[in-house]
Copies of this chain bind each other. A is one copy, B any other.
Amino acid sequence: MNIDRFRPVLFAALAFTLPAAAKAQTGLMPLPAELTKGSGVLALQSTFKVSTPRSHDARLEAAIARAIRRIEVAADLRHEGRGVFGTTPLEVSVASPGQAVQSLREDESYSLTVTGEKAVIEANTDVGAMYGLETLIQLVQPTPQGYVIPAVTVHDSPRFPWRGLMIDCGRHFQPVSVLKRNIDAMAAVKMNVFHWHMTEDQGFRLESKLFPKLTGKGSDGLYYSQEDVKELVAYARARGIRVVPEIEMPGHSAAWLYAYPELASGTVPDDIRREFGVSDVAIDPTREETYVFLRKFLTEVTALFPDAYVHIGGDETPAPDWKNNPRILKFKEAHYLKDNEALQAYFNTRVLAILTSLHKRMMGWDEILTPELPKDIVVQSWRGVASLAKGAQMGYEGILSAPYYLDGMKTAADHYLADPIPQNTTLTAEEQKRILGGETPMWGEHLNEVDIDSRIWPRAAAIAERLWSPQSVTDVNSMYDRLEVVSLELESLGLNHLQSVDARLRAMAHTEQIDDLRTIASVFEPVSFGERYKAQHTDQLTPFDRFVDAVRPDPWSRHWSNLMVDRCLQKDTDACGKLRSWYAEIARAIPHAKQQMRASPQMQDVLPKLDQLSVLTELGEKAAESLEKGTVVSSDTAWQSRKNTIEEAKKATAMVRFTFLDSLTKLTDAATAR
C-alpha cells in the first residue's frame, strides 16, 4: 500500500521549506530541556574539522569519531580517511572526562550552539559531550541544496538520572552482537543504564569459573563468557551507559538449581525449565552452605561489573518448600520468621551483607522492599507508581518499570504518558528525589534474536524521552512525528526493527512479493505477552515464526487513523478522502494476501481476520465517503449487521488484533448520526 498518498511525509514536506526555516525539533528525541532556534543553517558541504580545546581522552576521541562517521553517512559526505580533515568547524569543549566509574551523580548536561559558521558542544564530562553529539546528529536534515544543521542553541540535561532498558537474556539467549546494537540505540536516545537480566529458570547465562556447572548444565551452551562480559561493559562505558547485572535469587533459579541441586529448598529440577511462569523451586535460605556459595560466586562475578549496583531480582518466590520442608519450618520457628516473606527478608539481609562487603549496593524488584532492609537499597517497581511512591515515603530510592513493560504490546503513547512522578503527586520534594527514574523491561518469553529489535524499538525511544525531557513535554502527535525520524536513525545504526518484519513475511509467504501482506500486516498488532501465553501455551522451545511475530507493536495505522478520523469529523473533507482511499487500498490487498495465507502453514490461522477485514474496510470506505460528500449513510439492517462486525472483530484471532477499530467506530457512528 502506498501510505504516502494518505499520510503526511515528514521530511518530504520539510524539505521544501528548508533551509529557510529548518525545523530544529524535527529529529530530536528526547527533546532537550531548552532549545532556542537561531537563524540560518550550518551547511554540510564537507565533513567536520574537530577541535577539542580542553580535556580530551581516548573515550571522547572515539565518541567524536563515531559521531562524525554517522553524520558523514547520513549527510552524503566524504570520509576523509584517518583523522578528520573536513572544513566544517566542530568544537567539543569538555571540562574533564568525568567519573572513572559512571554513577547517578555523573554530570550529563551539555550545551550545543550551532550557527551558520560552526557547531560548538560544551560539557563538564565526556558523557555530557556524547549527548551533545547525539543531538547534533539528530539535527542533520536534508534540503534540496544538500544537508544542513539548523542554527540552534541547546542547554540540556536529564530530568531523571536513571534511564534504563532491561533485556531478559535468560528465557532466550541474545548474542552479544544483538546487545551491542541495542546499546547503540540506547545511546542515541540518551538512555544510560543497561539492566542485564542474566539468570532465569530457563537459563543461566553468566560464566563462573568457580562454579562451571552453572552454565555447563544450566545454559544449553548459550551463555556469556567472562570475556564477553568485559567486552560488553567496555562497549557500554564507551557510550556513557552503565551496566547493572541481574542475578535472580532465591526464585527464578531452576537452571541454577539444576546445576547445583544441593542449594535447593527441597524440590530439585530435573532439567533446565522449559515452561514459563512462576516456578516453585527456590534457593534454600536456611543453610549456611548457601551463603558460602553466594559469597564465593558473587565475589567472582560482581568483580566483572564496575557499576555500584547489583540486582538480585527477588521477585515471585512462592517457595512451597518453605511451608512444607520440616527443616525449613524449624529454622523459621527458631528465628521467629513468621512467614515466607520474613524468611525471604532474612535471605535478602544475608545477601545484602555479602554485597556490602563487596562494596556493592543491592537492587531488587518490589518484593525486596521490607522494613528489615536498610535505606540504601534500590527498589525496581513492577507494581506501579503508587508502590513506588510508598517506597519513597518509607525512605527508599526506586525506579519505575510497571507502565513500561514492552511485552505488554501497548502503544508508544501509553508508555509516553506514564510519568514516574505524576503531576498530582503528593510526595514531598525530598521524597521525589528518591525516585531516580525508570526502566523499560524487555522480557524474553517470546523473543528471538531476529525479532527483539522490533519489540523494543522505536517504542522505547518514547520512554527515553519521558525519562529525559521536562515533565511538560507531553504532545503525543509531536512524539509520533519524531518517533518516525528516530526509527530511521536507529535503522542506520544497524537495528533491524524495520527490516525483520519484511523478512518474516517473506519467509512465511515463500516469495519476495509481499506488498499485499505488508499492507495487511500494517493494520494488525500482536496481543500482549499474557494473551499469547494463554492462547499458544508457549514455552522456551516454541518457534516464534508466525504472523504475530511479523506484525509490529503499535504500528502507525492506529495513530494515523485516529488523527484522520478526528480531522474528518471536523469537516476536513481531504482527511475523509484519505481515509476512504486507505480503506480501499487495504481492501484491494485482501484477496491476494488470503491466497498467500492459505498457502502458508504459519499464516492460515489469520484467515478469519481477513474476512472481518473485508467487511470493516467496506464500512470504512462507505462512512468516509458519506462524510466526504456530506451525505448520510442509511442505517439499514445490512449496515447494522456490518457494524456489529466491529464488535466481533475486537476479539483477537491468531494472537493478533486490529489497530483501527476505535477510529472506525467513531467514523461509522458519525456517518450515520447526522
Smallest CB gap from A500: residue in B: B499
Shortest A354–chain B CB gap in Å is 32
Residues of B within 8 A of A598 (CB): 15, 144
A4 near B511 with CB under 8 A, answer: yes
B220 near A82 with CB under 8 A, answer: yes
Shortest A667–chain B CB gap in Å is 22
Smallest CB gap from A5: residue in B: B592
Smallest CB gap from A148: residue in B: B601
| Known A-B contacts A81-B541, A545-B76, A592-B4; A510 and B142 likewise in contact (beta carbons under 8 Å) | yes
B502 near A488 with CB under 8 A, answer: no
A232 interfacial contact with B, CB 8 Å: no
A307 interfacial contact with B, CB 8 Å: no
B144 near A2 with CB under 8 A, answer: no
A334 interfacial contact with B, CB 8 Å: no
How far, in angstroms, from A222 to B600 measured CA to CA in the complex?
Answer: 44
A488 near B515 with CB under 8 A, answer: no
A480 interfacial contact with B, CB 8 Å: no
A10 interfacial contact with B, CB 8 Å: yes
A78 near B541 with CB under 8 A, answer: yes
A3 near B601 with CB under 8 A, answer: no
Residues of B within 8 A of A512 (CB): 484, 487-488, 498, 556
Residues of B within 8 A of A2 (CB): 513, 515-516, 589, 592
Shortest A68–chain B CB gap in Å is 13
A4 near B513 with CB under 8 A, answer: yes
A599 interfacial contact with B, CB 8 Å: yes
A506 interfacial contact with B, CB 8 Å: yes
Identify which of residues 479-501 in chain A touch chain B, using a CB-to-CB cut-off of 8 Å: 484-485, 487-488, 491-492, 496, 498-499
Q: How many residues of A contact B (CB 8 A)?
A: 72
Shortest A499–chain B CB gap in Å is 4
Task: Tell which of B9, B10, B145, B502 touches A499, judged by Cβ atoms closer than 8 Å.
Answer: B502
How far, in angstroms, from A5 to B310 measured CA to CA in the complex?
Answer: 57
Task: Tell which of B16, B143, B511 touches A484, judged by Cβ atoms closer than 8 Å.
Answer: B511
| Known A-B contacts A10-B510, A142-B510, A274-B81; A543 and B72 likewise in contact (beta carbons under 8 Å) | yes
Contact pattern, A 115-140, Cβ under 8 Å of B = 1, otherwise 0: 00000000000000000000000000
Task: Tell which of B7, B541, B543 touches A76, judged by Cβ atoms closer than 8 Å.
Answer: B543
B144 near A511 with CB under 8 A, answer: no
How far, in angstroms, from A299 to B593 measured CA to CA in the complex?
Answer: 60
Shortest A183–chain B CB gap in Å is 17
Shortest A673–chain B CB gap in Å is 33
How far, in angstroms, from A12 to B556 measured CA to CA in the complex?
Answer: 29
| Known A-B contacts A545-B76, A599-B144; A509 and B11 likewise in contact (beta carbons under 8 Å) | yes
Shortest A14–chain B CB gap in Å is 8
Number of copies: 2
Smallest CB gap from A543: residue in B: B76
Contact pattern, A 590-603, Cβ under 8 Å of B = 1, otherwise 0: 00100110111110
Shortest A458–chain B CB gap in Å is 10
A604 interfacial contact with B, CB 8 Å: yes
Task: Tell which of B146, B499, B510 touches A485, judged by Cβ atoms closer than 8 Å.
Answer: B510
Residues of B within 8 A of A556 (CB): 512
Residues of B within 8 A of A604 (CB): 144
Smallest CB gap from A75: residue in B: B601
B541 near A79 with CB under 8 A, answer: yes
Smallest CB gap from A596: residue in B: B12
How far, in angstroms, from A220 to B147 measured CA to CA in the complex?
Answer: 27
Shortest A655–chain B CB gap in Å is 14
Smallest CB gap from A499: residue in B: B499
Residues of B within 8 A of A498 (CB): 502-503, 506, 512
How far, in angstroms, from A540 to B220 measured CA to CA in the complex?
Answer: 44
Shortest A382–chain B CB gap in Å is 29
A488 near B507 with CB under 8 A, answer: yes
B499 near A503 with CB under 8 A, answer: yes
A7 near B515 with CB under 8 A, answer: no
A611 interfacial contact with B, CB 8 Å: no
A73 interfacial contact with B, CB 8 Å: yes
Shortest A260–chain B CB gap in Å is 18
Residues of B within 8 A of A502 (CB): 498-499, 502
Smallest CB gap from A539: residue in B: B78
Shortest A202–chain B CB gap in Å is 10
How far, in angstroms, from A267 to B15 measured CA to CA in the complex?
Answer: 49
A641 interfacial contact with B, CB 8 Å: no
B599 near A220 with CB under 8 A, answer: no
Q: List 15 A-B contacts (CB under 8 A).
A: A1-B515, A2-B513, A9-B513, A9-B596, A10-B510, A11-B509, A11-B511, A12-B595, A15-B600, A76-B543, A80-B541, A144-B599, A144-B601, A484-B511, A492-B503
Task: Taking A2-B516, A9-B511, A12-B595 as given, write out 17 further A-B residue pairs in contact, using a Cβ cutoff of 8 Å, ordered by the A residue number.
Answer: A3-B513, A11-B511, A16-B599, A80-B541, A142-B601, A144-B598, A144-B599, A146-B601, A147-B601, A488-B507, A488-B512, A491-B503, A492-B503, A496-B499, A498-B506, A499-B503, A515-B515
Report the 10 A-B pairs with minimum CB-CB distance, sorted nearest first: A11-B510, A15-B599, A499-B499, A2-B515, A4-B513, A12-B599, A78-B541, A9-B511, A3-B513, A146-B601
